[in-house]
Amino acid sequence: MSRIKRKLELWRTVVLGTGIFVLLAVSAISSDPASAACAPFPKIALWDTLTHDFARRHVNDKFGGDWQAYIETLQEYKTRLRAIQQRGTGAVVTWKNKKIRLEGRSITTFLKHFDRRIEVTQCLSGRDARMQDRVENIANFATAAGGGEKANAASQCDRIPEVQWWKFKTHDSISGYVDRRYQGDWDSYIGNWTKRLEKLQNIYSRGASAVASNGIVLRGSILAIYIGNMRERIAITRCLAGIRKPSKI
């Protein structure tokens, strides 16, 4: 066999081998026992349709797949309920056109269910994030030979600040997320982060507190540091957007 033929045969083996590896790895992800199911949501009449699948669809449809934004919404709702409880007044909660009035001990019971709902949601968020990271790692392995140009360009942007509850903290994971959830629309992605920043700045200016997606309470100097990290993230994301956006001719 000539040298050229041997090289062609070797290349074909590498390409086919990589493809087989990716297929096998994706199959392994779908049946990985390490990603055991999260606990079910609390079973109460108001949430009779609340399941893991429903939560995932809701996050995808209403929050663009952003679990952190969804969990923050739940945390804010719980904070309002807690304030109502402390005032000793009643509240009307709604779920899919159903309304239930809560007061006294019923609010206390509902808040316990709500805490459990947030815990389950955080579990689902973590599972989905781990799954996405593993798929991205496999995709990066399969395309490593052709991705050098963008990788070198992205190195011009700073690293994302290390914040415990942020899921997407690398250039590649953020780019993959924008491609999947925003169809490559960086402006919409940055716009959502900017809105969240403005909201936090308003909370800080009022001397109030915010709750992170993992339950950590942010107030005062800690909230100010987080706002600084968020500003830095947005600036870095704009840098990435300038590199990753398709050029217009």
Domain boundaries, the chain: 37-142, 148-244
Residues in the chain: 249
State the pLDDT at residue 234: 92
State the pLDDT at residue 127: 62
Q: Is 174 exposed, middle or buried (0-12, 13-18, 19+ CB in 10 A)?
A: buried
Paired tokens of 181: 């959830």
State the pLDDT at residue 95: 65
Contact 247, 153 (CB under 8 A): no
Give the HSE-up count for residue 6: Cα atoms under 13 Å, Cβ half-sphere: 3
State the pLDDT at residue 187: 92
State the pLDDT at residue 155: 67
CA 83 – CA 81 distance, rounded (Å): 5
State the pLDDT at residue 189: 92
Paired tokens of 172: 């590649």
- Digits of tens for pLDDT over the chain (249 positions)? 444 444 444 434 333 333 333 333 333 333 333 334 688 898 888 788 888 888 888 888 888 778 888 888 898 888 888 888 888 777 777 766 677 777 778 788 888 888 899 988 888 887 655 555 444 444 444 444 444 444 454 568 889 988 888 888 889 889 988 998 888 999 999 999 999 989 888 888 888 888 887 778 888 888 888 888 899 999 999 999 988 765 554
Estimate to the nearest angstrom the gap between the alpha carbon of 57 and the chain centroid: 14
Write the DSSP string, 48-61.
TT--HHHHHHHHHH
